[in-house]
Amino acid sequence: MKHLLILLIAFLTFIASAAEEHPLLPADISSPRATLQSFMENCEVAYTLLTEQGRNFKDEKSHDQVQDAIRGVQRCLNVSDIAEFRRDNITKEAAVALKEVLDRIELPRTSKIPDRKMMLDDEGNLIRRWTIPNTEITFELVEEGRFEGSYQFSQDTVTRASSFYQRVKNMPYKKGATEGFADTYLTTPGNPWLEQVVLRLPSPMRERVNGQAVWQWIGIIAVLLAAALLMALLYATGRRVSRKASEGKLIKYTLGLLFPIAAVFIPAKASSIIATDLVVSGQALYVIKFNLSLITLFASMVVVLGIGRRVGEIIASIPHIKANKIDAQLARLMSRIIGMIAAMVLLMQGGQHLGIPLSSLIAGAGVVGAALALSAQDVLKNIFGSIMIILDKPYTVGERIKIKNYDGVIEEVGLRSTKIRLLNGHQAIIPNEDMARSDIENIGRRPFIRRASAIRLPVDIDAEKAEKAVQLIEGLLEDHEGMNIAFPPRVWLNDFEDDHLELKIIYWYHPPDYWKFTKHADWVNREILTRFEEAGIPIALPSFITKVEDESGTPVVLPQS
């Protein structure tokens, strides 16, 4: 044992001098012996600084030294299968537990711990693992990744380090051990002010319950409550600002997103306080950090969706887009869809960071998507209908259309429905699914208004008066108001009916101003009556037949005109 201690001291002295000469030289993990010695040496450095200065280092040199030591310790542990957000805390807790174990159990002599050469088999291949005798602490060859070809404490050893410590914690320390390393690391607050407060607390407050000191549990509850209240306040304020500014105050509406953005950082800060200042560890820290990370992830997704909505509003407010409100709706819709896609990508990446397999995330998203599709079929149909309307543009806001039994002017094209102001003043709200699959007559896009009319002349009218009637109307419509030379008026004797001769009139009015057209049509009608009266041209009244029955029920037909 004496020789082992001398060799260990000599090795540590050599490592210390080498570290001063080569400060960027990483910890040696080329063999189980090198890994064990690097681990012990870096733990010694961290323990010394922690006991001398606590967690708050008074100078930059000490801070750099302890960070180098922590990196050296982390290099010795295989945590490749542990979720990224847990690695830092798991590494530190496993290192503390392993150091406590190694300070209590008997280790083989240094010469018996295999170096690189001793880990070669007869064929010159590296042996995959070596276990400290009489323990389950194993060094394993890393076969891929940045540490390929090196030896680290195996993943199983890292995972079970805390249970190893619990099994040996009542054993005495060996001579020269870092006594109380675990208690010092796990109970010393990271905040100097809090450290002074804890030192003044009665001893029952420093007793450990379920892996944490009583004062730590109180601190956890206080931090989580404060974080929840602050997030609720920020979200409520953000909604109030955005709701008041959503109509006509684009800048204020955009700035309203700052409140949920600020809320994203609260769970991360709470997690940092709990891990660094309160020095919570073990399963409690994992559960808290996992849930706070989930909250951060969902809060980030809310921000991404909010950004999508606001980008759509900004695009829709551009003057030449605002004039065509279908384009504005398209900008809003596409921005929201892109925001949803970005939120899903964020969920996938964040889930992987938290250790959730990508396959599980995709399967979960598929199940949720199927459930939403089944429960919201009508909503999805209307959204797809909106997309088709926006892309095809069968109508725009302000145009008059006829669809089914509705005739009116488009007031609004929404994501779910289209609102039409009918000619009688009523408002019709039609689902976009129906709008997309129905026949639509777009009156607002007609280049002219066509009038087709017929005048009934008596069957016994003479040819001269019939010809005169045609000439009178042709003269009346010659170069008429709203006429386009490509659309000359048409007047002709169309056909003989049973009780009249039909005189057909067709003309076109440009541009399609309905009320000017009606005024002109009224003038045409009055002129026709006046000129026909002056020329003595009669207009035949429609004939009809009245059917009556006598007292016996026998029909009697009475022709009338």
Span 375-431, pLDDT tens digits: 556 666 777 777 787 777 888 888 899 998 899 998 888 777 888 999 899 999 988
Question: In the prediction, which pLDDT does 360 show?
Answer: 57
Which contiguous run of DSSP H or E holds residue 97?
Answer: helix 84-102
The tokens for 554 are 């026998």
Phi, psi of 560, rounded to the nearest 5 degrees:
-140, 160
Burial class (CB in 10 A: 0-12, 13-18, 19+), 219: buried
For the domain 449-535, what is the CATH code? 3.30.70.100
For the domain 387-439, what is the CATH code? 2.30.30.60
The tokens for 204 are 């029952």
Question: In the prediction, which pLDDT does 16 show?
Answer: 46
Q: State the Cα–Cα distance between residues 293 and 346, nearest whole angstrom.
A: 13
Q: Do the Cβ atoms of 504 and 491 come closer than 8 Å?
A: yes
Q: Where are the domains of the chain?
A: 2-188, 212-375, 387-439, 449-535
Neighbour count for residue 282 (Cβ, 10 Å): 16
Mean pLDDT for back-to-back runs of 10 residues, the chain (561 residues): 46 46 71 92 83 68 82 89 76 87 91 91 90 93 90 92 89 84 67 72 78 82 92 86 63 78 88 80 78 86 84 72 59 76 78 62 58 58 75 84 90 82 91 86 90 91 91 92 93 89 94 92 94 91 68 61 48
The tokens for 288 are 């808290």
Peptide linkage before 511 cis (omega within 30 of 0):
yes
3 state SS of 428:
strand
Q: State the Cα–Cα distance between residues 66 and 74, nearest whole angstrom.
A: 12
Q: Do the Cβ atoms of 151 and 30 come closer than 8 Å?
A: yes
**DSSP character at residue 119:** G
E strands, 285-442, are 400-403, 406-413, 417-422, 427-431, 440-442
Q: ∠ CA 115-66-63 to the nearest 5 degrees?
A: 155
Question: In the prediction, which pLDDT does 350 show?
Answer: 74
CB-based burial, 245-259: b 16+ in 10 Å, e otherwise: beeeeeeebbebbeb
Give me the count of residues in the chain.
561
Phi, psi of 403, rounded to the nearest 5 degrees:
-145, 130
Question: In the prediction, which pLDDT does 26 show?
Answer: 80
Q: Do the Cβ atoms of 165 and 97 come closer than 8 Å?
A: yes
